[in-house]
Structure 1
Amino acid sequence: MCGRFAMDKETDDLIREFMTETGRPAPEWTPSWNVAPTDQVPVVREHAGKRQLESVRWGIVSPSSPTFGGGKPVINARIETVATNGLFKGAFATSRCIVSAAGYYEWQLTENGKQPYFIHHPGTDVAMAGIVRAWPDRSKASDDPDRWRLSMAIITRDAHVAPGEVHDRMPACLTPDTYDDWLGGELSPDDALALLDSSSFEVAHDFHYYPVSKAVNSVKNDGPQLLAPVELD
């Protein structure tokens, strides 16, 4: 799974990286090296053929949930079922997104407790594939633009190469040449799955990992020091 990641870019960096439109205000983003479920995160989506940055909650909220923050957030969607699962399939067909990250964390259970590892591409960020769902705030009028609140899940798949040595799942990632097709609405679900399977396999070959401090285990801790390698006993 992917349950924590680092995102060290600021809003302007993301706009430049993904060539997003700035016609409407982009969400202000403060870099975080310990992004956790239920956090608001910026994602890249496409509207009317143009890329936009939007702030969404990490962890999909079911439209039937009485509250936006109630229940356990669904933070991951498995590639094996994302196109058929009732909670995900509509979003996978029409509301795909990109979640930029410096890398992500996974844990191994050892005799000394859970040891975190940072998995990343040296020198470059990774583009994790996600889906976005809208939750209706029934306390607001149907024509109120604030009625709909957005949440997202990161798509995961079986891990390959280096990530598989730490955990059996990894985020499904995209290569830059696939961004347009992934974000656009022209791909069928089957074609989107094939694209994601191929691109994520390619990305996995360049992943590296190393152990980091257990300070990252607490969501209260943040800062670039969390990415510093540590030596294990």
Structure 2
Amino acid sequence: MCGRYTLLADELKIKERFQIPYAIDSYQPSYNIAPGQNVLAIIFDGEKRRAGYLRWGLVPSWAKDVKIGYKMMNARSETAHIKPSFKHLMGRKHCLIIADSFYEWQRTEKGKVPKRIQLKNRELFAFAALWDKWEQEDETLFTCTLLTKDANNFMKDIHHRMPIILPKDKEDIWIEQPFSSAFDVHQFLQTVETEELSSYTVSNVVNNARNNDATCIEPIV
């Protein structure tokens, strides 16, 4: 699973990297982004890329209770194309969630140890994600879920699952290509190879989502 990540880059760098031609409304860097918070996302509206905020934790359009979102922060890519909560989104409601690292907790004899994982080149990247719009009376929510897969050789010593990080040359395909079926999307995701990663241990301060400063990413030697 993926339950926390960071986005520390300045707005200009994000705009250049993801080809966003206008200001990102209310952008603030964060050391500890958690489910239930608004996250910076990119969708394709049929003509251009659009950047904006989605709430992390999917609330499907048919849901009766918005609290379901706290149980749907991640979706397994291996089964999302057949699961009722996700299959109708797999073919048409794709987005990029912008990040520069994520946290995972490694089980050890001394308990769970938080790790910060980045691309080896420490560049910005995008998670593959799904989004939906929920409406009820006078309330509207735009929410998302991150797609995950089995851990690769690097990650398996830390955790058995990992988020899908899209290579830069697959980002346009993910949000712009009109896939013919949810199964085709499933097959595409199985071909995605994660770029090289690196990791280091951080302190337990990151365990509390209210902690959001540079101490979250300080290495523990």
Q: Distance in 1 between matches of 2:103 and 2:146?
A: 14
Q: Is the 8 A contact 1:162 1:209 kept in 2?
A: no
How big is each residue's C-alpha offset from its partner over 1:80-119, in whole Å with a ceiling of 9 and x where there is no partner? 1111111111211111011111111111233433210111
Counterparts in 2 of 1:26-105, with a 5 A limit? 26-69=24-67, 72-105=70-103
Distance in 2 (alpha carbons) for counterparts of 1:68 and 1:50: 30
Please state how far the C-alpha of 1:62 moved relative to its aligned partner. 3.1
Q: Return the alpha-carbon distance in structure 2 between the equivalents of residues 16 and 73 of structure 1.
A: 34
* Deviates most, 165-174 or 84-93: 84-93
The offset of 1:54, in angstroms, is 1.6
Alpha-carbon distance, 1:71 to partner: 6.1
CA distance in 2, matches of 1:8, 1:158: 27
Shift of 1:196: 2.3
Q: Is the 8 A contact 1:60 1:153 kept in 2?
A: yes
Pair 1:215 & 2:208 matched: no
Asked if 1:192 is matched to 2:191, the reply is no
Q: 1:177 aligns with which of 160, 166, 169?
A: 169
Tell me the TM-score normalised to structure 1 length. 0.86
- What is the CA–CA distance in structure 2 between the aligned matches of 1:31 and 1:62, rounded to whole Å? 28
Superposition deviation, residue 222 in structure 1:
1.2
Distance 2:32 2:8 in 1: 10
SS at match of 1:81: coil
1:220, CA displacement in angstroms? 1.2
SS in 1 for 2:36: coil
For residues 161-184 of structure 1, give each alpha carbon's deviation from its aligned partner in whole angstroms, at most 9, with x where no partner exists: 211110000001111111111101
Q: How far apart, CA to CA, are the structure 1 residues paired with 2:109 and 2:173?
A: 45
The corresponding residue for 1:133 is 132
CA–CA distance in structure 1, aligned partners of residues 165 and 194 of structure 2 = 9
Q: Give me the identity figure in percent.
A: 28
Give the conservation status (yes or no) of the 8 Å contact 1:38–1:73: no
Structure 2 length as normaliser, TM-score? 0.90
* Paired position in structure 2 for 1:2: 2
Q: Determine the C-alpha separation between the residues in 1 that align with 2:25 and 2:116.
A: 26
Assess if the C-alpha contact under 8 Å between 1:128 and 1:171 holds in 2.
yes
SS at match of 1:72: helix
Secondary structure in structure 2 of the residue aligned to 1:161: coil
Runs of 5+ in structure 1 lacking a partner?
A: 141-146
For 1:208, what is the secondary structure of its paired residue?
A: strand
